[in-house]
Amino acid sequence: MPHTNWAGNYHYQAQHVHQPQSVTEVQELVRKSENLKAVGSRHSFNHIADTTADHVSLASLNKVVSLDPQQMTVTIEGGVNYGQLANYLHGQGFALHNMASLPHISVAGACATATHGSGEKSGNLATAVRALEIITASGNIVTFSRDETPDMFPGVVVNLGALGVVVKLTLAIEPAYQMRQVVYQNLPFAQMLEHFDKIQASAYSVSLFTDWQRESINQVWLKQRVADGQNNQPVSEFYGAVLAVQNLHPIEALSAINCTEQMGIVGAWHERLPHFKMNFTPSSGDELQSEYFVPRPQAQSALQAIQSIQDKIAPLLLISEIRTIAADDLWMSPCYQQDCVAIHFTWKPMTAEVMEVLPVIEQQLEPMMVRPHWGKLFTLSASYLQERYARLGDFRQLVTTHDPQHKFGNAFLEEYIYAG
Ligand SMILES: Cc1cc2nc3c(=O)[nH]c(=O)nc-3n(C[C@H](O)[C@H](O)[C@H](O)COP(=O)(O)OP(=O)(O)OC[C@H]3O[C@@H](n4cnc5c(N)ncnc54)[C@H](O)[C@@H]3O)c2cc1C
């Protein structure tokens, strides 16, 4: 059976997939391997998780280890995904600060690439990490934490799979909360530009969906946190956009059956933050994805720059999503020390055509110091990328300390991180 990523657009070159049943087995495997790569839930679209040697999957190490209500943290094994974790936490009366669009993604893999949700005051998902246990090249377990190793910790969390196999993560939690999701249709593009800041501030998490085919944003998804017992009726108009009268899929032609509940109906945080329901489990997807981050003050210029090439984008596109993410201190995060707007593209599965349009998009965004999502498709050069990461030298040093022979190296890391 071919071993591919979730989208099926990338066939891994890995020779074999090991699925250890214990941390000790992972340690033994690391000790005896010359080269090895951790693979998560395979949701990345490029070769970041590939290797010509062997893969190690932590799919069997998928338990919640402990919950600490005093410290407000949860500790999980390295194979847990967000869906499992969210269900567990909610059952215990706790919550995460944010989630990605799909809940099926592994926590370790998501944090390794700075996966994010939306919300101008919410950092990416990796910002919730408080400690990590990593099996480094020696086979020993090294613990990094914000409290005990504060100097290195910001370099370790968004690790691009370079430091070793993450076998445990401790994440910050908060008391469970309620949310409601309201969708508006046809937000005029000019209104979106003029009121961008107010729109982003209007809810806990805001997503703007567009197919770049009209002079408007197709849909505005507002995810609002609500206090117990509060259930205000949404207003019928939002900066010229009209309240939707039924649940919608971001791609309007598709059924909303797999989308999380909208229409202002109040529900649990983990049933509103992702766009897609947890009990809908897509094993693969007929799509490609790219995503570009620019500093928040450049949001309007970036969106206008993309609009100016919409005729090149629209024929290849399923849907685009515009989100905001708060600044963080994680060295390899695209939001390192800068609030960002992220412009995401879900493409039709037309790899050759998509790879041709990406440089056109990147050229538009380069003046705005664009950074790509590490786990999605991009064509920006290694030298360009390396200039965008002020702490890259420190990250390389960290890797040299823990993996001097690049046991966890691969072509992606050689090209974008180690070369130069
Ligand atoms: C349908 C879909 C929706 C998505 N939605 C979003 C979204 O809303 N926001 C967003 O930002 N991104 C999104 N993504 C992208 C996705 O979150 C990232 O690509 C993420 O890295 C995937 O995690 P994974 O577990 O599948 O990792 P993989 O793709 O399996 O691996 C990614 C990296 O993580 C490393 N890794 C994985 N597990 C470990 C481990 N245990 N120890 C050490 N390193 C490890 C791998 O070596 C590799 O470097 C989406 C992707 C898909 C397919």
**pLDDT tens, position by position, 25-61:** 999 999 999 999 999 999 999 999 999 999 999 999 9
- Confidence category of residue 406, pLDDT binned at 50, 70, 90: very high
Average pLDDT over residues 199-216: 96
Ligand 1 closest atom vs CA 274:
8
| Extents of the domains making up the chain | 178-271, 288-380
CA of 332 to the centre of ligand 1 (A): 15
Cα dihedral sign, 165-170-171-177: positive
Pocket lining: 158 vs ligand 1, CB cutoff 6 Å: no
Ligand 1 pocket test: pick from 12, 23, 43 the residue with the most ligand atoms within 8 Å of its Cβ: 43
Average pLDDT over residues 121-142: 98
CA distances from 244 to 202, 222, 346 (A): 17, 12, 22
CA of 110 to the centre of ligand 1 (A): 4
b/e string for 194-233 if b means 16 or more Cβ within 10 A? ebbeebbeebbbbbbbbbbeeebbbbbbbbbbbeeeeeee
Average pLDDT over residues 248-272: 94
Angle at 104 between CA 407 and CA 376, to 5 degrees: 55
- Looking up tokens 């943290």 gives 73
- Nearest residue (CA) to ligand 1, atom 21: 110
Domain 178-271 has CATH 3.30.70.2530: yes
Ligand 1 closest atom vs CA 6:
53
As a whole number of angstroms, the distance between CA 247 and CA 339 comes to 30
- Confidence category of residue 281, pLDDT binned at 50, 70, 90: low
Pocket lining: 377 vs ligand 1, CB cutoff 6 Å: no
- Confidence category of residue 370, pLDDT binned at 50, 70, 90: very high
Supply the pLDDT for residue 283.
52
CA distances from 184 to 27, 100, 223 (A): 51, 20, 12
Pocket lining: 139 vs ligand 1, CB cutoff 6 Å: no
Pocket lining: 168 vs ligand 1, CB cutoff 6 Å: no
As a whole number of angstroms, the distance between CA 114 and CA 129 comes to 11
CA of 48 to the centre of ligand 1 (A): 9
- Confidence category of residue 285, pLDDT binned at 50, 70, 90: confident
Share of the chain above pLDDT 70, in %: 98
Supply the pLDDT for residue 278.
80
CA of 376 to the centre of ligand 1 (A): 9
Q: Do domains 178-271 and 288-380 have the same CATH topology?
A: yes
Q: Who wins on pLDDT, 124 or 2?
A: 124
SS3 286: coil
* Whole-number average pLDDT of the chain: 95
Share of the chain above pLDDT 90, in %: 93
Pocket lining: 98 vs ligand 1, CB cutoff 6 Å: no
Q: pLDDT tens digits, residue range 139-198?
A: 999 999 999 999 999 999 999 999 999 999 999 999 999 999 999 999 999 999 999 999
Supply the pLDDT for residue 2.
57
Ligand 1 pocket test: pick from 35, 113, 251, 416 the residue with the most ligand atoms within 8 Å of its Cβ: 113
Answer yes or no: are the C-beta atoms of 131 and 169 closer than 8 Å. Answer: yes
CA of 205 to the centre of ligand 1 (A): 21
Tokens of 85: 């974790």
Ligand 1 pocket test: pick from 106, 341, 407 the residue with the most ligand atoms within 8 Å of its Cβ: 106
Supply the pLDDT for residue 233.
82
Average pLDDT over residues 387-409: 97
- Confidence category of residue 227, pLDDT binned at 50, 70, 90: confident
Angle at 50 between CA 45 and CA 55, to 5 degrees: 125
Pocket lining: 288 vs ligand 1, CB cutoff 6 Å: no
Pocket lining: 107 vs ligand 1, CB cutoff 6 Å: no
Q: What is the CATH T-level fold of the domain 288-380, as seen in this structure? A: Alpha-Beta Plaits (3.30.70)
Answer yes or no: is pLDDT of 9 > 70. yes
CA of 43 to the centre of ligand 1 (A): 5
Pocket lining: 106 vs ligand 1, CB cutoff 6 Å: yes
Q: pLDDT tens digits, residue range 178-194?
A: 999 999 999 999 999 99
Full strand arrangement of the beta sheet holding 141-145: 64-68, 73-77, 165-172, 129-135, 141-145
Pocket lining: 169 vs ligand 1, CB cutoff 6 Å: no
Angle at 364 between CA 99 and CA 337, to 5 degrees: 45
Supply the pLDDT for residue 282.
59
Ligand 1 closest atom vs CA 106:
25
